[in-house]
Amino acid sequence: MRLCSSFNLHYLRPLLFGRGFFLLLFAVALPAYISASAEPDEGEDWPVMPVQLGVETAKSLALEHNPLLKQVKEGLYVQDGVLRELQSLRRPQLNIGAGYAVFDEERQGSFGSGMAPDNERWDADADASITVFSGGRNKRAVLAEEGRKEAVAADLEAATQELLTQVYETYYDAQLAQETVRVQKKFIELLQEQLKYAQRRLDVGVGERFDVVQAEVSIANARPPLIRAQNDYRRNVDTLRRILGLVFPPGKDAQDIVLDEAATPAEIEQDPVAALLVAMENRPELEAADHLLEAAREDVEVVKRLRSPLVDLFANYGAENDQFGDVDLLHGWTIGARVRWALWDGGESKGLVMQRSAEFRRLEDVKTELELSIASEVRQAYYDYEEAQSILASSERVVEQADESVRLARNRYQAGRGTQLDVLESQLQLTRSRLEKSTALNSLQRSVIRIHRAMGNPL
Measured between alpha carbons, how far is 437 from 445 in angstroms, rounded to an integer?
12
Distance CA 236, CA 311 (A): 63
For the segment 211-227, what is each residue's pLDDT rounded down to a tens digit?
888 888 988 998 999 99
Query: Which residues make Cβ contacts (< 8 Å) with residue 327, sequence separation at least 6?
Result: none
CATH number of 2-95+143-306+351-455: 1.20.1600.10
| Pairing verdict, β 52-53 and 258-259 | parallel
H or E element, residue 94 = strand 93-102
Look up the pTM and report it. 0.76
Q: Residue 269: its pLDDT value, please? A: 79
The CA angle 128-132-136, to the nearest 5 degrees, is: 140
What is the rounded average pLDDT of the residues 41-70? Answer: 83
- Say which range, 9-18, 237-246, 264-273, has the weakest mean pLDDT: 9-18
Give percent of the chain with pLDDT exceeding 70.
88
pLDDT digits (tens, 9 = 90+) for 215-259: 889 889 989 999 999 999 999 999 999 999 999 989 889 999 999
Residues 455 and 16: their CA atoms lie apart, in Å, by 29
Tens digit of pLDDT for each residue in 331-364?
889 999 999 888 887 888 889 899 999 999 999 9
The SS3 call for residue 125 is strand
User: What pairs with residue 334 in β-bridges?
Assistant: 316
Least confident among 44-48, 54-58, 94-98, 292-296 = 44-48
Question: d(Cα 307, Cα 304) in Å, to the nearest integer?
Answer: 7
Q: Residue 205 pLDDT more than 90?
A: no
